[in-house]
Amino acid sequence: MSLEVSNTQAKNVALEHIARFYNHSDTPNDIIRYIILPHVSEYIKMVVCLHLIIMFKDAQFLRSYLENVTDAHGEIICQFMLNFHITHDRIIYNVYDVIPGKSINSLLCATLWNTDPAVCEILIEYGVDINSTDEQGLYVDDITYNIPLYYNHLSTYLHPSEQIVFGGRIIEEFHNAIHVITVAVGEEQP
């Protein structure tokens, strides 16, 4: 198992390994133009951009992006984008750490990379499916507690980065974000 690192530390390490992110992420258009590979379809670029915003930007940046997508393309496209699953292959980090192939939508991305409950609240407000499951029928909160590592599930869509795993997750940091989801589905009280 990798050494556990805080969410802030994991984000800093990840950003060091995502080519050009520091210099080209002031706007969603910059992210799409400079961070995401050019051969990726325009729709998938919008989804990958959403995931990068969830991972590395704040709640206000996310809200602004979703407002702009809704204004430009409508609520249905925004909701489809929120609920689209990006699939990655199995990731072998070392002989002890293997992350099985998994599909990740925006809500799961938020609970794997962002400790701010406002991010989950915004995703729910804009229409993310709080009852979505993965290929094995697991819900977001179940998956979140079972993924021990911070890893780059977007690596096939980004300009080359030399690292894909960024340390172990401290699950306790995510309780407030996960609580937003369990309240929304009626499993816990506000």
Q: Are strands 98-99 and 91-92 parallel, antiparallel or unpaired?
A: antiparallel
How many other C-beta atoms are found inside a 10 Å radius of the C-beta of residue 106?
Answer: 27
In a domain, 120, yes or no: yes
Question: pTM value?
Answer: 0.93
Per the structure, the count of domains in the chain is 1
C-beta of residue 137 within 8 angstroms of C-beta of residue 91: no
C-beta of residue 120 within 8 angstroms of C-beta of residue 140: no
Q: What is the CATH number of the domain that holds 96?
A: 1.25.40
Strands, E, within the chain: which ranges? 4-5, 86-88, 91-92, 98-99, 102-104, 149-151, 165-169
In a domain, 189, yes or no: no
For 165, the 3-state DSSP assignment is: strand
Residue 155 confidence (pLDDT): 85
Residue 43 confidence (pLDDT): 95
Residue 152 confidence (pLDDT): 87
In a domain, 53, yes or no: yes
In a domain, 121, yes or no: yes
pLDDT by residue for the chain (190 residues), tens only, comes to 468 999 999 999 899 888 788 889 999 999 999 999 999 999 999 999 999 999 999 999 999 999 999 999 999 999 999 999 998 777 666 656 666 667 899 999 999 999 999 999 999 999 999 998 888 888 898 888 888 889 888 988 998 766 677 888 999 999 999 999 999 998 888 8
Domain that holds residue 79: 4-184
In a domain, 78, yes or no: yes
Residue 1 confidence (pLDDT): 45
In a domain, 190, yes or no: no
Nearest to 123 by CA among 47, 189, 41: 47
